[in-house]
């Protein structure tokens, strides 16, 4: 995938034109144990400042590395480069958010410290903003974008699957990129930023209401020094992060999907308990009742933890009674719809009873969901309770 000649052109060797940047820029670089790369980043940013006569503020947001990073920035002797040591809420995405808040210039750029993102593309990112884009990604996957040749199948597949999972949130070809530029005003307009994991660009695209995402081709290089911070734990955080963003963007539709998934799990629980008791020699009536009872409780617990996680601050016993009540009414609706359809529209239709039952199940499930979503687990105004509700999508008890 790598094309050295084209890469040289893209990274500044044989440009056809020179870009003039008129606005000051803040460059935010999250770091942890990157002492060997910090001087190289400063050197390359200094070259860009000199070549394009740009006023650049360079902010290293360090997660208390204690590896000499602070001294490395001080020894560079550049008044426009500084390091902020973060001792709380550490993590790549929170570091970027803090850095963007700390930034003082109208345009903000985020890039990695391992030099996988070429700093020389910063003028191109800003030019794309000037052309009308709200948010610009340094992209590996648009025409002209490349990666180093030693990307193995697993690494490529991991990137492809992560990008595919983000497709409902943005049409960008490389939303996983950590190299991006945006206007500070657009960032300041964001509400409820709560990123986890390492895909901060996706968080900003969704939470800042970005509708116009541009992409500039870059060559993505392997890191020069240090070790990658990507781990299985970070990848699992990405799945949790995606769920939060789906809930934020799709709201009630996402609640319904989760409700249906929990309902399906309840069917499995019901059949499992019933079969176990039958195997133990229990009366069928008791086995049926136990299956229904246990599945209702499991559905309540799962819905309270996942589907309606924002309502976990409420009284669980009151919610349980409400949940059982809504389920009971849903069953009545199920039965009434099925019976009515069977005796009218589907009276003489082959498999009419089965079709009527399916329609009844659908109506009962929908009624059950609406009762739980808007009555039992009703969202309250943030100021209505003293204890703040958990972030939608959180799964902690």
What digits encode the pLDDT tens for the residues 303-312?
998 888 888 8
Across 65-74, 195-204, 219-228, least confident range: 219-228
Q: Which pLDDT score, from 0 to 100, does residue 234 have?
A: 66
Q: How far apart are CA 47 and CA 58, in angstroms?
A: 13
Residues with Cβ within 8 Å of 377's Cβ and at least 6 positions away in sequence, in order, are 303, 304, 307, 308, 310, 311, 314, 319
Q: How far apart are CA 295 and CA 273, in angstroms?
A: 8
Asked if residue 140 has pLDDT above 50, the reply is yes
Closest-CA residue to 256 (of 247, 265, 267, 244): 247
Find out whether 263 and 364 touch, Cβ atoms under 8 Å: no
- Mean pLDDT (the chain) is 83
Model confidence at 295, in pLDDT bands (50, 70, 90)?
Answer: confident
Residues with Cβ within 8 Å of 37's Cβ and at least 6 positions away in sequence, in order, are 113, 114, 115, 223, 224, 225, 226
Name the CATH topology of 4-250: Spore Coat Polysaccharide Biosynthesis Protein SpsA; Chain A (3.90.550)
Higher pLDDT, 352 or 320: 320
If residue 217 lies in a helix (H) or strand (E), which one and from where to where? strand 213-217
User: pTM for this structure?
Assistant: 0.71
Find out whether 132 and 51 touch, Cβ atoms under 8 Å: no
In the chain, where does DSSP find H-type helix? Answer: 4-10, 38-52, 69-76, 92-102, 122-130, 153-165, 184-188, 200-207, 232-250, 252-279, 284-302, 316-343, 352-371
Find out whether 2 and 147 touch, Cβ atoms under 8 Å: yes
Model confidence at 393, in pLDDT bands (50, 70, 90)?
Answer: low
Q: Which pLDDT score, from 0 to 100, does residue 381 have?
A: 44
Please tell me which of 10-14, 107-111, 163-167, 173-177 the model is most confident about, judged by mean pLDDT.
107-111
Residues with Cβ within 8 Å of 284's Cβ and at least 6 positions away in sequence, in order, are 278
Q: Supply 229's token pair.
A: 């911070």
């Amino acid at each position: 995938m790598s094309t050295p000649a084209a890469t040289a052109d893209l990274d500044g060797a044989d440009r056809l034109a020179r870009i003039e940047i008129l606005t000051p820029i803040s460059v935010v670089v999250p770091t942890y144990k990157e002492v060997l790369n910090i001087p190289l980043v400063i050197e390359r940013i200094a070259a860009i400042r000199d070549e394009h006569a740009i006023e650049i503020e360079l902010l290293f947001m360090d997660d208390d590395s204690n590896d000499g990073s602070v001294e490395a920035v001080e020894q560079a002797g550049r008044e426009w480069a500084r390091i902020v040591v973060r001792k709380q809420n550490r993590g790549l995405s929170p570091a970027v958010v803090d850095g963007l808040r700390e930034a003082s210039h109208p345009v903000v750029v985020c890039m990695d410290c391992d030099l996988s993102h070429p700093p020389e593309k910063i003028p191109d990112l800003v030019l794309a903003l000037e052309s009308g884009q709200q948010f610009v990604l340094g992209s590996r996957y648009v025409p002209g974008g490349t990666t180093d040749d030693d990307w193995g199948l697993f690494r490529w597949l991991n990137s492809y699957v992560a990008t595919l999972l983000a497709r409902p949130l943005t049409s960008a070809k490389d939303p996983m990129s950590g190299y991006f530029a945006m206007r500070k005003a657009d960032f300041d307009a964001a509400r409820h930023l709560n990123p986890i994991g390492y895909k901060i660009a996706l968080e900003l695209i969704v939470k800042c209401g970005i509708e116009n995402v541009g992409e500039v081709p870059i060559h993505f290089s392997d890191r020069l020094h240090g070790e990658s911070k990507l781990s299985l734990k970070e990848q699992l955080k990405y799945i949790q992060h995606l769920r939060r963003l789906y809930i934020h963007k799709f709201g009630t539709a996402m609640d319904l999907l989760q409700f249906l998934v929990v309902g399906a799990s309840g069917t499995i629980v019901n059949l499992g308990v019933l079969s176990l008791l039958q195997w133990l020699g229990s009366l069928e009536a008791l086995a049926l009742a136990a299956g229904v009872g246990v599945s209702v409780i499991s559905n309540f617990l799962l819905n309270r933890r996942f589907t309606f996680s924002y309502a976990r601050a409420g009284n669980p016993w009151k919610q349980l009674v409400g949940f059982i009540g809504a389920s009971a009414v849903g069953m009545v609706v199920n039965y009434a719809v099925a019976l009515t359809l069977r005796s009218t529209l589907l009276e003489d239709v082959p498999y009419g009873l089965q079709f009527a039952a399916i329609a009844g199940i659908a109506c009962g499930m929908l009624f059950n969901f609406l009762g739980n979503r808007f009555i039992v687990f009703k969202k309250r105004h943030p100021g209505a309770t003293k204890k703040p509700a958990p972030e939608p999508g959180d799964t902690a008890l």
